[in-house]
Every structure is written in C-alpha cells, then in structure tokens.
Amino acid sequence: MTVFAVRTTTAGSAEDRLKDVKSSPRLVTERPVQAESQNISLSSRLSAYRKLSADRRPDFANAYDELVERLSVIDRGELGPQLGDSMPGFDLPDQNGRFISLSSLLQSGPVVISINRGHWCPYCKLELQSLAAIHNAIEQLGARVVSIMPDGAQFTSGYVAQNDLPFTVLSDIDLGYSLSLGLIFWVGAEIQKLYEEVGVQLEKYHGNQGYFLPIVAKFIVGRDGLVKARQVNTEFRERMEPEAIIAALRALRDDESTSNRPRHSNSLSEPSADDISTF
C-alpha cells in the first residue's frame, strides 16, 4: 500500500500483554525476533507475528481487522504528503529532551522519517529493529533516520537503549505533527477497552486521554525538502521493506548525481528520459 517524570516502562511489558495475558512473554515475542537473524524479510516476520498474535488473542485480531477496514474506507492512496510535495517541517523533542527540526536534519542529506504508533507496539518494534539493521547502509548513502511517535521521552529513552536503536526517536506531543500530515485516527471504544485490559496506557504515554494514534507511514525526504518516496499503511501490521528504503535512497543519490553532472554549454538538445526523475 502506497502509505512525565515517572519510572520508565519497559516496552516488553505492555507489548507482551497485548498478545495473551496468560502466555509466557518470551514465547510470545521471541520467535519473530529470532527470525531477524535468519535473513527473513520484514514482511515475513510481521506476518508471523500477526499469526501468532491472532492465535493467542483472536479478540485483538478481530478488533484490529475492523479498525483497518474502517481506515481503508478513507484511504485512496491520498493520505499524507504525496510524491513531490514539500514535507511539512517539525521541531520535536528527542528521547533526551533536545528539540530536533527537519530543516536541521536535511542540512546533511536526505531523511528517512518513520511514523510509528508507540514504544509499546510490537509491529513498530520489529520495523525499527529492521531499520537499525540497515542503518549503516543508510548512512553510507548520505541519509539519516528518525522515528516519530506520540510517546513522551520518559518512555522513548529507555526504548531506544533497550533496542539499541542507532537513530533518534522524537515525541510527537499531542500528535500535533501527525495531525498536520493528516495521519491521525481515534482507536475506537473496543480497542480502547482492550488496551486498558492489557495495560497499554495510551493516556499515560501521551499525556492526554484522547486515545488517538498516528497512521504508520514512511517518508523519504530529499535535501530539497520534497517527498521522494512514501508508504502509508492504514494496515499497520504491514510496513515498508528495508530493501525498498535502500533502493529509493540509491535512486535518489543517482538522480542527484545526474542532475549535478556538468553539461556542455553548447548543447541545446531536449533532456532525455534518463534525465527526468521518477521520484
């Protein structure tokens, strides 16, 4: 689909209870994470986790299916900034309380922006771990990664350390930035009740009682501030593959290299198809 000062809560606690309050946390989360060391694709790991989740908590699976169906009604591939659009700027606090702006990140090169549901979300955890695995390759292509989620820094700081994330996680306070992107939704009464049952305390993580979440998305933004690649997922149990991110960054690098190549001053020919960016 083309789309606070309290003790830090460990991501595993609420995350594990999401699946089965009676099951072993290691049994619930270990299998998909182990798959990461077997060169299995992110989509395969997400799918395996989704099946395991549905087997252990069919009530969650059914509620999520209904939520995705509700969101898909409004999704015609037009949610969020489109290819070629100027990416709205942000100035958000990171896990250490320092404010980071999009403009400052773009000074050094393209930026991969990952919009995530929260530190408690197991699907986001798998996705961010996959981004960590390709972080060196992303840096070699001159780009940077940033994750944006609505949780406060007292939750994201421990999350970054626990998962060895080599990139910044920003807090989208009151979901203001996600709202500016048109990527926000109410979870609904049924999912709110299920979350409360298993200890997913969105009101504590967000600092409000709205029970809104962002629609997960990935945007690759060029140094010119324009969207070069995107994926918006109303089906939040699916995410952009790491290989697709690397391919988009390589194409962006090659495109910029071509556009910066000196041309003969006496050439009056029309540009060829190879000179026109497909991004």
Global pTM value: 0.76
Question: Which pLDDT band holds residue 263 (cuts at 50, 70, 90)?
Answer: low
Mean pLDDT of the chain: 81
Section 178-182 average pLDDT: 94
Residue 54 falls within a domain, yes or no?
A: yes
- Angle at CA of residue 240, ends 71 and 58, nearest 5°: 50
Do 220 and 240 contact (CB within 8 A), yes or no?
Answer: no
- Within a domain: 272: no
Residue 265 lies in a domain: no
Query: What pLDDT, on the 0 to 100 scale, is given for residue 23?
Result: 37
Task: Quote the crossing angle between the two packed helices 242-259 and 122-133, to the nearest 10°.
Answer: 50
- Is the confidence at residue 177, as pLDDT, over 90? yes
**267 within a domain of the structure (yes/no):** no
Q: Could you tell me which residue, 109 or 66, shows the higher pLDDT?
A: 109
What is the domain count for the chain?
Answer: 1
Task: Tell me what the mean pLDDT of segment 15-31 comes to.
Answer: 41
CB 110 within 8 A of CB 142: yes
pLDDT of 233 above 70: yes
- Helix (H) or strand (E) segment spanning residue 184: strand 184-186
CATH number of residue 172's parent domain: 3.40.30.10
Query: How far is residue 6 from each of residues 166, 168, 173, 208, measured CA to CA in Å?
Result: 24, 21, 17, 15
Residue 279 lies in a domain: no
3-class secondary structure, 163: coil
Helices (H), the chain: 11-17, 25-35, 42-56, 58-72, 102-106, 122-133, 135-140, 153-162, 176-181, 189-198, 202-206, 242-259
Instruction: Decide if 146 is inside a domain.
Output: yes
- Rounded to whole angstroms, the Cα distance separating 224 from 86 reads 8
Inside any domain, residue 97: yes
Three-class secondary structure of residue 191 per DSSP: helix
- 3-class secondary-structure state, position 165: coil
pLDDT, position 51: 81
Is the pLDDT score of 80 beyond 70?
yes
Residue 108 lies in a domain: yes
Report which of 100, 55, 60, 91 is spatially closest to residue 192, judged by C-alpha positions.
Answer: 60
Which domain covers residue 176, as residue numbers?
11-256
